[in-house]
């Protein structure tokens, strides 16, 4: 009887469940993607949120609302901009479902940390939310029309994660970007997202246009898609992807199936870095007017051509990023600090000069394992 009374009295305290912060999911603004641009006074936020208040259903004869809606608002700070979004949406924002943050071009040219400071302190935001830079404005990217029942944030998220199989996209979670930005020597990298419009079919799609490098918290250099590939290869982040080679007047497509890279710092006889790249590849296409069988000699030459191609891609990337723009994309500074604090302290005094002059050797080893279904000729 005593327990029953205690239970019944306890029920009185459940009125706290009607508190505003315990709102139903339908009353929350479930944010899927966030775009941040600069405005005259501060920031302009564009969010893509799930449309939990759809008026029609997909099966009705009425035109249904889309699965997502976008909201834009301005503010002097990000917090005030988000507060302005609460005002127009009438819902409490839920950041924990947001998958991507797109930074507008103008914002990336100033210090991007000013925008990210809000998300570092906001505990509900995922620490591994993906970041990207927009080719123009983040608002355009977030407002992309990919279809009425298509959630653009999912497509953008998938595109940003596609680097593991296309070898051209840098996947950058927020915590890694901030770590690199805060480090004394590392360059921080963001993929550049753009909208591609097909004039014929009048459709839009999301694409990647290289990557943006930041050194000392300012945007410094842009790498194109091929240079981004070189960046991924050099950092052992290139799992697989296609390489094109010109061979005897034809285009050959080589698919890299496995790639591993090891960067070693040697102290003697002189301080230098060596990059050892080993690849396992398949020949997937030989673009010639007539079908052409490949001899062992051809395969060997293609193998050497692949090595040269990879070597040249990585060398070109290092030249553009490290030598020209003084962006440490290979974490050379971190390696030096681990190996020798004295050498590091000496190098950090004029790190730009260190990056411009430090010897970096590239060694590439490629292996052709398959040529498709074709049977190899005996000669």
Query: Are the beta carbons of 253 and 285 closer than 8 angstroms?
Result: yes
Structure tokens at 159: 């595109």
54 vs 179 by CB, closer to other proteins: 179
229 vs 337 by CB, closer to other proteins: 337
Of 320, 274, 283, nearest in space to 305 by CA:
283
Q: Using CB under 8 A as the criterion, what x/- string covers residues 147-176 for binding other proteins?
A: ---------------------------xxx
CA 172 remoteness from chain centre: 4
Site size toward other proteins (CB under 8 A) is 24
At residue 271, the 3 state secondary structure works out as coil
Q: Which residue has the tokens 């997202």?
A: 193
**Rama region for 326: left / alpha / beta (φ>0; ψ in -120 to 50; rest):** left
Question: Closest distance between other proteins and the C-beta of residue 238, in Å?
Answer: 16
Task: Identify the residue among 30, 142, 152, 178 touching other proteins (CB under 8 A).
Answer: 178
Considering only residues 64-103, where is the footprint of other proteins by CB under 8 A? 96
Residue 128 contacts other proteins per CB under 8 A: yes
CA 41 remoteness from chain centre: 29
Question: Closest distance between other proteins and the C-beta of residue 83, in Å?
Answer: 14
Task: Tally the C-alpha atoms within 13 A of residue 155's C-alpha that lie toward its C-beta.
Answer: 21
Distance, in Å, from the CA atom of 324 to the CA atom of 312, rounded to the nearest integer, reads: 16
Q: Using CB under 8 A as the criterion, what x/- string covers residues 329-368 for binding other proteins?
A: --x--xx-xx--x---------------------------
Residue 320 contacts other proteins per CB under 8 A: no
The CA distances from residue 154 to 37, 150, 198, in Å, are: 21, 8, 21
19 vs 60 by CB, closer to other proteins: 19
Task: Tally the C-alpha atoms within 13 A of residue 190's C-alpha that lie toward its C-beta.
Answer: 33
Task: Identify the residue among 41, 127, 267, 374 touching other proteins (CB under 8 A).
Answer: 127
330 vs 366 by CB, closer to other proteins: 330
Task: Identify the residue among 2, 3, 16, 59 touching other proteins (CB under 8 A).
Answer: 16
* Binding stretches for other proteins (CB under 8 A): 16, 19-21, 96, 120, 123-124, 126-128, 174-176, 178-179, 182-183, 331, 334-335, 337-338, 341
């Amino acid at each position: 009887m005593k327990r029953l009374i205690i239970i019944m009295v306890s029920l009185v305290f459940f009125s706290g469940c009607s508190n505003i912060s315990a709102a139903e999911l339908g009353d929350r603004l479930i944010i899927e993607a966030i775009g941040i641009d600069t405005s005259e006074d501060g920031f302009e936020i564009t969010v893509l949120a799930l449309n939990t208040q759809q008026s029609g259903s997909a099966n009705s004869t009425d035109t249904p609302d889309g699965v997502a809606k976008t909201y834009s608002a301005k503010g002097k700070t990000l917090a005030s901009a988000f507060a302005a979004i609460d005002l127009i949406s009438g819902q409490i924002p839920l950041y924990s479902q947001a998958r991507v943050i797109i930074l507008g071009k103008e914002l990336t040219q100033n210090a991007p940390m000013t925008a990210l400071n809000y998300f570092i302190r906001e505990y509900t935001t995922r620490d591994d939310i993906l970041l990207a830079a927009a080719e123009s404005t983040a608002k355009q990217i977030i407002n992309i029309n990919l279809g009425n029942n298509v959630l653009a944030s999912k497509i953008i998220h998938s595109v940003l994660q596609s680097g593991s199989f296309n070898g051209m996209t840098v996947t950058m979670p927020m915590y890694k970007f901030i770590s690199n930005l805060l480090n004394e020597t590392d360059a921080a990298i963001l993929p550049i997202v753009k909208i591609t419009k097909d004039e014929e079919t009048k459709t839009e799609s999301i694409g990647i246009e290289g990557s943006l490098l930041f050194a000392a918290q300012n945007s410094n250099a842009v790498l194109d898609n091929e240079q981004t590939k070189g960046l991924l290869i050099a950092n052992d982040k290139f799992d697989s992807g296609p390489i094109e080679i010109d061979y005897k007047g034809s285009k050959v497509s080589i698919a890299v199936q496995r790639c591993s890279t090891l960067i070693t710092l040697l102290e003697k006889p002189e301080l230098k870095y060596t990059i050892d790249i080993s690849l396992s590849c398949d020949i997937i296409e030989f673009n010639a007017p007539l079908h052409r069988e490949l001899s062992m000699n051809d395969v060997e030459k293609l193998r050497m051509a692949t090595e040269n191609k990879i070597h040249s891609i990585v060398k070109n990337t290092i030249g553009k990023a490290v030598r020209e723009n003084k962006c440490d994309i290979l974490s050379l500074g971190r390696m030096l600090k681990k190996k020798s604090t004295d050498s590091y302290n000496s190098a950090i005094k004029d790190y730009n000069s260190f990056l411009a002059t430090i010897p970096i050797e590239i060694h590439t080893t490629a292996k052709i394992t398959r040529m498709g279904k074709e049977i190899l000729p005996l000669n």
